[in-house]
Amino acid sequence: MATLGELERAVMDLLWDSTQAQTANDLRDLLAQSTGDVDGKELAVTTVLTVLARLEKKQLVTRERDTRPHRYRAVTSREEHTVELMNEALGNVMDREAVLTRFIGGISGEEAAALRRILNENQSA
């Protein structure tokens, strides 16, 4: 799975948070509201379109072509994307248990309790 650059992540966050498809202009305006201008310059819509094209190539967004301007939406949810990243990371290591042990060592008590609860629920299902 491809990693995301800073602007790609910002666009994906907006798409994940949205309940409807967005145009490049919509996304540019939302980015300007959330991050302000980039280096004192307004973000160009062509830059957003380039980012969207890259995200589409990475199969993270889909473009609705039946309207003009085109509208974009995330292919999967933020949570599904994160699961894919975690599965890919675990698939690339020889010692999965060591990775899981280090991961668990870095989570909070609340997260550990939630993980225990989820594991217990899955065992009894």
pLDDT on residue 67: 86
Mean pLDDT of all residues belonging to the chain: 89
- Extended strands (E) in 36-93: 61-64, 71-74
Residue 79: its H or E element: helix 78-91
Entry pTM: 0.80
Of 115 and 42, the one with more pLDDT: 115
Task: Among 34-38, 72-76, 113-117, name the one with the lowest average pLDDT.
Answer: 34-38
Closest CA to 11 of 3, 24, 19: 24
- Whole-angstrom distance, CA of residue 73 vs CA of residue 50: 15
**Structural domain spans, the chain:** 6-74, 94-125
User: What pLDDT digit, counting tens, does each position of 20-66 carry?
Assistant: 999 999 999 999 887 665 555 678 999 999 999 999 999 999 999 88
**Residue 13 pLDDT > 90:** yes
CB distance 73 to 15 below 8 Å: yes
Q: Where are the alpha helices (DSSP H) in 36-77?
A: 45-57
| Residues 24, 52 contacting (CB under 8 angstroms) | yes
Answer CATH for 6-74 from 3.40.50.150, 3.40.30.10, 2.60.40.10, 1.10.10.10: 1.10.10.10
Beta carbons of 44 and 24 less than 8 angstroms apart: no
